[in-house]
Structure 1
Amino acid sequence: MPIHDVNVMILDNDGVLRREGKQLPGVVELYAQLEKRGISNVLLSNNSRVTSDGLVRQMKQFGVKDFCKDQAMTSAEAAASWIRHNPSADRLEDMRVFAVGEEGVFRSLQELGIALANDQWDGQQWSGLPTDVVVGFNTKMDYATTMAPAWNAIHRGSRWIHTNGDVSYRNAAGAMLPANGAQLAYLSTTGKEPAAVVGKPNREMAESALRRMNVTQDQARIAVVGDNLTEDMGLADNLRSAGWNAEGWMVLTGVTTAEDCDDPSVDRVFQDIRQITRALLSR
């Protein structure tokens, strides 16, 4: 697809717009070009701990003053949206969800009117088994009040939705630590599998964002911009497999080096987002 045919851009956050919490060069200029050319865009974050409100604050701090909530989605919000579109009960109000995670998970469920069942676990057993278990990354978990009841509910038949399968993350000191994929592996010892893992590279989060933008397959020409072969380029692959016209655009400001880009999922390689902006300006 010619670069100027792109009319939708799906962007990653870490390694693309920021690194180690600090803004990378070229963010304001890229978003100015997207606005000027009418390119619909969404910032997709696998981080279930944050909210789209938090991403809006970040982008405004970066200087993108007109960035709005509809331009961002987290894996927690995508999980809540997935539940709303795929209810486990005849009526949404009959669903009771046990939530594992931090602010992003709880707020995303509550904002869509989904009732929580966390108060139904008394430390030993359920007073009412939840219909669903939603699991986001939790760095403050207590075994007795989070993973034990989640495991028990899934084992007994509650539907399981996982926000993302990220195996690890790098903390502020640069150390690699287990992430939500480790929680997925733990809960897999129930012998069950998640009904959905909604974050990247799976396409559920992207398709939820595309629906919100009223973008359809027949009109979309998508660039997935990221720094990660598995999550971002994998998302482009999965969108293509589902019939979307999508390319994977790799930037080298994150975890991937140029040597790693000899991969069929990578359609274009850019040094950074400034080079993407120059490419959009080249005509």
Structure 2
Amino acid sequence: MTERRIEAWLMDMDGVLVKEEHAIPGAAQWLELLTQRHLPFLVLTNNSMFTPRDLAARLRASGLDVPEQSIWTSALATARFLHEQRPNGSAFVIGEAGLTTAMHEAGYTMTDRNPDYVVLGETRTYSFERITTAIRLIAAGSRFIATNPDPTGPSPDGPLPATGSVAALITRATGAAPYYVGKPNPLMMRSALNTLQAHSETAVMVGDRMDTDVVAGLEAGMHTVLVLTGSTAAHDIDRFPYGPARVADSIADLIDDLDPAPDGHDKGMGR
């Protein structure tokens, strides 16, 4: 792997910084060092339920200090995408505060009367009535958008149906597949890079999943690092037709990459 200067960092949240709402060892030091070195970074999540302020509070409860402006969610990426596609449009939204707040801030009107889009995100309580409304609106011509394709989400009692599963139900009923904005769509990576005013050639995506984080980073032209503290195990990597530039046991293993090199310049990501 060749040396390359790194000027910005994107990283997944669950499985990289936290696991079951507990900070992964080394994550606090990693974030502190990024801040001390004035290195731009964003924490990414496909979870559309929470606002950045909510997530920042949850991370603080886990012992991690992440400013809300350094959190990028699939809800924010979806709202920005729709604003760029159709400014001041309208949408019927299934989701929680993270999504509805982002849509309002993007200038969108929430309505169930001939909306431009049906936007599906995560919620703890999917309503059969609202899903039925979504099906009827899509059948009548509204465009179908989903924040992310994740089929399930975690809970203390086991997996819960998430956006991808409910989207499949709606697709089965309407014949219309959604456009997914979140990972693994590289659009989410590019919107995050634009937020940082960073370039893919000098940015890194750190994730714990080969099928979302790594492939999205690769398709966005970024350097990719897989950490083994989340979903993808070391023995699973070779099953994929692509690979990360680097595999690390955890985020703690990347701390040395942020230390000043002997000549005073930042190190690249070579090994």
Shorter-chain TM band? 0.7 to 0.9
Per-residue deviation at 1:63? Answer: 4.5
Per-residue deviation at 1:227? Answer: 0.7
**1:236–1:247 CA contact under 8 A, matched in 2:** yes
Gaps of 5+ in 1: 121-127, 241-245
Look up the equivalent residue of 2:202 and give its one-letter code. Answer: R
Tell me how many residue pairs correspond in the alignment: 258
Of the structure 1 ranges 130-139 and 207-216, higher mean CA displacement relative to structure 2 is found in 207-216
1:258 aligned onto 2:263? no
1:224 aligned onto 2:210? no
Which residue of 2 is the match for residue 178 of structure 1?
161
Q: Percent sequence identity over matched residues?
A: 29
SS in 2 for 1:60: helix
Which residue of 2 is the match for residue 97 of structure 1?
91
TM-score, length basis structure 1: 0.84
Per-residue deviation at 1:142? Answer: 1.6
Instruction: Provide closer, same or farther for how the CA distance between residues 273 and 98 of structure 1 changes in structure 2, counting only shifts above 3 A.
Output: same
> What are the Cα deviations for residues 99-135 of structure 1, in whole angstroms up to 9, with x where unaligned?
0011211111112221100xx4xxxxxxx31111110
Q: Distance in 2 between matches of 1:58 and 1:169?
A: 17
Which residue of 2 is the match for residue 129 of structure 1?
114
**2:83–2:107 CA contact under 8 A, matched in 1:** no
Of the structure 1 ranges 17-26 and 257-266, higher mean CA displacement relative to structure 2 is found in 257-266
Instruction: Provide closer, same or farther for how the CA distance between residues 28 and 82 of structure 1 changes in structure 2, counting only shifts above 3 A.
Output: same
Q: Distance in 1 between matches of 2:16 and 2:189?
A: 17
**1:6–1:39 CA contact under 8 A, matched in 2:** no
Aligned partner (choices 163, 167, 175) of residue 151 of structure 2: 167
SS in 2 for 1:5: coil
Q: Distance in 1 between matches of 2:128 and 2:243?
A: 39
Aligned partner (choices 105, 117, 142) of residue 127 of structure 2: 142
Which residue of 1 is the match for residue 51 of structure 2?
51
Which residue of 2 is the match for residue 78 of structure 1?
77
TM-score, length basis structure 2: 0.88
Look up the equivalent residue of 2:229 and give its one-letter code. Answer: T
Instruction: Provide closer, same or farther for how the CA distance between residues 198 and 268 of structure 1 changes in structure 2, counting only shifts above 3 A.
Output: same
Per-residue deviation at 1:278? Answer: 2.6
Q: CA RMSD in A?
A: 1.9
Which residue of 2 is the match for residue 17 of structure 1?
17
Q: Distance in 2 between matches of 1:79 and 1:29?
A: 31
Q: Distance in 1 between matches of 2:11 and 2:194?
A: 16
Once the two structures are superposed, the pairs formed by residues 243-282 of structure 1 within 5 Å of their partners are: 246-262=222-238, 263=240, 264-281=242-259
Look up the equivalent residue of 1:256 and give its one-letter code. Answer: T
Q: Distance in 1 between matches of 2:63 and 2:127?
A: 38
**1:28–1:62 CA contact under 8 A, matched in 2:** no
